[in-house]
Amino acid sequence: MTDKIITGKFPFARMRRTRRHDWSRELSAETRLSAADLIWPIFIHDESHDMDIESMTGVQRVSINTLLKLAEQAVALGIPAIALFPSEDDSLKDENGTQAANPENLVCRAVQAVKQRFPELGIICDVALDPYTSHGQDGILVDGYVSNDVTIEMLIKQAIVQAQAGCDVVAPSDMMDGRVGAIRGALDAEGLVDTQIMSYAAKYNSAFYGPFRGAVGSAPSTVSRSGGKASYQMDPANSNEALREVAMDIEEGADSVIVKPGLPYLDILQRVKDTFGVPTYVYQVSGEYAMLNAAAEKGWLDLDRVMMESLMGMKRAGADGIWTYFAPVAAEKLNG
Ligand code: PBG
């Protein structure tokens, strides 16, 4: 039985002709995702064992030894870069996060170990004080308020020790004003002119970071509008402000920018990419990862499909690359 021939003034387009076969869907796909689009965030700690992170299925805090195995896996899978997040012992935390600037801290030792074995793998280090401060803020408190300029002094030191340890990219996630320019200037003054800056330019004050704070063991942000992360991270209500943030960071010397979180902010991602055309990355954050896994564990979502669909959505919206905890699993699938 054939479809009835509908006669009318115009032959209408049969969009479904192209969708009918695998080969023509393949040929007409507008967006391609590959392992080369992924950045793999990894949590490390200064222990010899690995520890499951309860809220993030399949993700662990790992030892430097295990990190080396994951780095090897990244290289084998064609994942271009990993990003390191340290979980520091409470005994190393203080009010000012001074451990961040210690050239022998966990992150620096991890960078050195990975670079020595896998020099071709990109390494990204987070620049922010939250893993190191006893209060869990990304910056230094002066009279209970995160001081912009005092914080920047420490961020500069942190970025320098990370770059000296051999990391390829420093990624300031602290949202202090003027830090990109300050870090660029300081790196250049140290002769570290080839260290890239991937700035978290549009980072929102999001509840989707919940599981991450557990993973690195940083204190939860307070809800208070003056003292909490809302005093430096962006208000989810804003979009034009994101463009201004990005413009400033590019002006100050950022090589690339990040929009974070991912799925609730695809509109921002698209505007940023369309407006500036610079390398633009998006971070599928811990809460997004946890959410998809939790629903899948209940049998309510097909994890493979929602994982790929969410990543594809971000690529389609304009991401040049995606930070995601799904990186190794997605890369394996993409490599077929
Ligand atoms: C903090 C930082 C956060 C994340 C990356 N860097 C959390 C925060 O701002 O509280 C979140 C990542 C995630 O949720 O996956 N410097």
Question: How large is the angle between the packed helices 148-165 and 106-117, nearest 10 degrees?
Answer: 30
Domain count across the chain: 1
Token code pair at residue 296: 């899948």
Say how far apart CA 211 and CA 310 lie, in whole Å. Answer: 19
CATH number at residue 145: 3.20.20.70
Total residues belonging to the chain: 336
Look up 69 and say whether it is catalytic: no
Distances (CA, A) of 272 to 55, 207, 237, 260, 335: 31, 22, 16, 12, 29
Q: Does the residue 66 lie in any domain?
A: yes
Other Cβ atoms closer than 10 A to 12: 8
Sign of CA dihedral 175, 177, 180, 185: negative
Look up 315 and say whether it is catalytic: no
Q: Does the residue 146 lie in any domain?
A: yes
Query: 277, 222 in Cβ contact below 8 A?
Result: no
Decide whether any atom of ligand 1 lies within 6 Å of the 138 Cβ: yes
Q: Does the residue 310 lie in any domain?
A: no
Residue 93 CA, distance from chain mean position:
23
Say how far apart CA 180 and CA 200 lie, in whole Å. Answer: 10
Q: Does the residue 334 lie in any domain?
A: no
Range of the domain at 126: 36-258+276-281
Helical (H) or strand (E) element with 265: none
Q: Does the residue 286 lie in any domain?
A: no
What is the pLDDT, as a whole number, of residue 11? 76
Q: Does the residue 210 lie in any domain?
A: yes
What is the atom index within ligand 1 of the atom nearest the CA of 218?
10
pTM for the full model?
A: 0.95
Q: Does the residue 130 lie in any domain?
A: yes
- ω before 261 within 30° of 0 (cis)? yes
Q: Does the residue 237 lie in any domain?
A: yes
Identify any residues that bridge with 124 across adjacent strands, giving them in sequence order.
Answer: 83, 169
The label of the residue with tokens 């320098």 reads: 160
Q: Averaged in consecutive runs of 10 residues, what is the pLDDT profile of the chain (336 residues)?
A: 66 92 98 98 98 96 98 98 97 97 98 98 98 94 94 98 98 97 98 98 96 78 59 96 98 98 98 98 98 98 98 98 98 97
Token code pair at residue 263: 């799925």
**Which residue, by CA, sits nearest to atom 5 of ligand 1?**
173
